Amino acid sequence: MEAETIQLLISNIIIGAGILFMIIGVFGVFKLKIFYSRILVASKVDTVGMLTILAGFIIRNGFSFFSGKLFLIIIIMLSLNPLVSHIMARSAYLSGFYIENENEEKEQEEQNIVN
């Protein structure tokens, strides 16, 4: 096999793994019911999925000026994605969006029935 064919094969595998990771992560986001858990999963899926997809594109194009741009995008995403997720979760918490315990909800319903 030629070097270009191997490079193309490896890049396709990495890009496919990134897309698969993002698809599985979307199902994970829909499965979770708590807002803060959804933010955590969405942040991880977005960061790792895009990291692997962009790494696959870097391998596919070889090391060129375009790959340098993609590497810069990776650096920016690695620094900003967790920061933005933290800002969203913190603003939700400060605005009064708290996690409610299921047991507390059941106790409140029982008290409402008794009263």
Higher pLDDT, 105 or 26: 26
Task: Summarize pLDDT for 37-60 with one digit per residue, the tens.
Answer: 888 888 889 899 999 999 999 999
pTM (two decimals) = 0.76
**pLDDT computed for residue 101 by the predictor:** 63
Which residue has better confidence, 103 or 2?
2
53: buried, middle or exposed (CB in 10 Å: 19+, 13-18, 0-12)? buried
Supply 12's token pair.
């396709």
Contact of 26 with 45, CB cutoff 8 Å: yes
Residue with tokens 């603003």: 91
**Is residue 42 a contact partner of residue 88, using CB atoms and an 8 Å limit?**
no
pLDDT for residue 30: 87
Report phi then psi at 33, rounded to 5. -105, -25
Q: How many domains does the chain have?
A: 1
Q: End-to-end alpha-carbon separation of the chain, Å?
A: 78
The string of pLDDT tens digits covering residues 65-114 is: 999 999 999 999 999 998 998 998 889 888 887 776 655 556 666 666 66
Place of tokens 């933010």: 39
Domain of 77, in residue numbers: 3-114
In the prediction, which pLDDT does 113 show? Answer: 66
